[in-house]
Structure 1
Amino acid sequence: MNRQFEKYKGIHPGIVLDRELKKRSFKQRPFALSFEEHPQTFNAITKGKRGISTALAMKIERELGLDEGTLVILQAYYDIQKIKEKEIKCTPNLHILSKGLFWDTDIQQIDWERQYRAVIQRVFERGNENGKREIIRFYGTEKVNQALQESNIRDPYTIYRFNKTTE
């Protein structure tokens, strides 16, 4: 892989490709049509909404004079990055949350993304300070604020206090 692309590890290859095309003053549609690719597919790739196949990557690399495998390697690094992000963020640190908070359910079966309102509400109603901080770290201040404002917890002091401790 070309050294100039080393810095792009973990970034979607379509975004790198879009930047490369702009740098060379190439238009997406004519470029896609030049090797018989659908412009819509090519646009989805350059927006980072679709992965790039090996066959397509090789065609693009030949057309742009890039080292063989550059875009495929970038796609692999991007996929690795996405998996790492998912692993890190899939559950909050359960050692910090009090076991008694989720006494009525199997904590391993909680869908942390779909049931975020109920989780946030329960932790902020019954949890300790460490549990609240962990929930803020896991979901982010904005999502916690939104869930608290939508829930029955109408104590503005709670929201204000935890905003100040996370800033």
Structure 2
Amino acid sequence: MIKRFEKYKGIHPGIVLERELKKRAIKQRPFALSLDEHPQTFNAITKGKRGLSTALALKIERELGLEEGTLVILQAYYDIQKVKEKEIQPTPDMSVLSTSLFWDTDINKIDWQKQYRAVIQRVFERGNEDEKGEITRFYGVEKVRQALEESKARTPYTIYKPN
């Protein structure tokens, strides 16, 4: 892989491709048509909404004079990054948490990583010891402590430490 593309590991190859086309002042639509590709498909790829096939990646690389396999490798790194993100962002054990804690929201739409402060505060205000323990296990003692210190709640919290 070309060294200048090393920094793009984990970024969708279409976004890198769009930047490369802009840098070379090449318009997307004529370029897509020159590759016998639908402009809509090509646009979806450059916006990161669609994966880049190996066959199309090779056509693009030839046309732009890029090292063979660069875009394919970027697609592979992007796919790896997506799998890692899914592994990193699991949900807490939902059999322990009561859905009534989250009565005002769809529990399936909670982004457990982005909304951690609100989740931690809610569970420590209204949850039982098992629920507090599960949230502490899921986020870790330090993250729970930090979130509770940042909250402006009046009630002092006791952080549950699992055995």
Q: Give how far 1:35 is off.
A: 1.1
Match for 2:126: what amino acid?
A: E
Deviations 1:99-126 (A, max 9, x none): 9x5489xxxxxxx961649xx4556411
C-alpha change, 1:115 and 1:2, in structure 2 (3 Å) is closer
Deviations 1:3-55 (A, max 9, x none): 11011000000000000000000000000000110000000000000000000
Count matched residues.
Answer: 130
The whole-number CA distance in structure 1 between the counterparts of 2:13 and 2:20 is 10
Q: Within 5 A, what are the aligned runs for 1:79-94?
A: 79-92=79-92
Q: Within 5 A, what are the aligned runs for 1:49-64?
A: 49-64=49-64
TM-score of the two chains, using structure 1 as the length reference: 0.64
Q: Give how far 1:66 is off.
A: 0.2
The whole-number CA distance in structure 2 between the counterparts of 1:68 and 1:19 is 18
Q: Secondary structure at the match of 2:108?
A: coil
- The root-mean-square deviation of aligned C-alpha atoms, in Å, is 3.7
The whole-number CA distance in structure 1 between the counterparts of 2:64 and 2:9 is 19
The whole-number CA distance in structure 2 between the counterparts of 1:115 and 1:13 is 28
Q: Which residue of 2 aligns with 1:15?
A: 15
Structure 2 unaligned blocks of 5 or more: 100-105, 112-118, 155-163
Match for 1:51: what amino acid?
A: G
Q: Which residue of 2 aligns with 1:5?
A: 5
Alignment of 1:131 onto 2:135: yes
The percent identity for this pair of structures is: 60
> Which of 89, 108, 132 in structure 2 is aligned with 1:114?
108
Q: Give how far 1:131 is off.
A: 3.1
The whole-number CA distance in structure 2 between the counterparts of 1:27 and 1:86 is 35
More helix by share: 1
The whole-number CA distance in structure 2 between the counterparts of 1:75 and 1:113 is 32
Q: Give how far 1:134 is off.
A: 3.2
Q: Which residue of 2 aligns with 1:46?
A: 46
The whole-number CA distance in structure 1 between the counterparts of 2:80 and 2:151 is 36
Match for 1:131: what amino acid?
A: I
Q: Which residue of 1 aligns with 2:25?
A: 25
The whole-number CA distance in structure 1 between the counterparts of 2:14 and 2:60 is 11
Q: Which residue of 2 aligns with 1:155?
A: none
Structure 1 unaligned blocks of 5 or more: 105-111, 142-157, 163-167
TM-score of the two chains, using structure 2 as the length reference: 0.66
Q: Give how far 1:129 is off.
A: 9.0
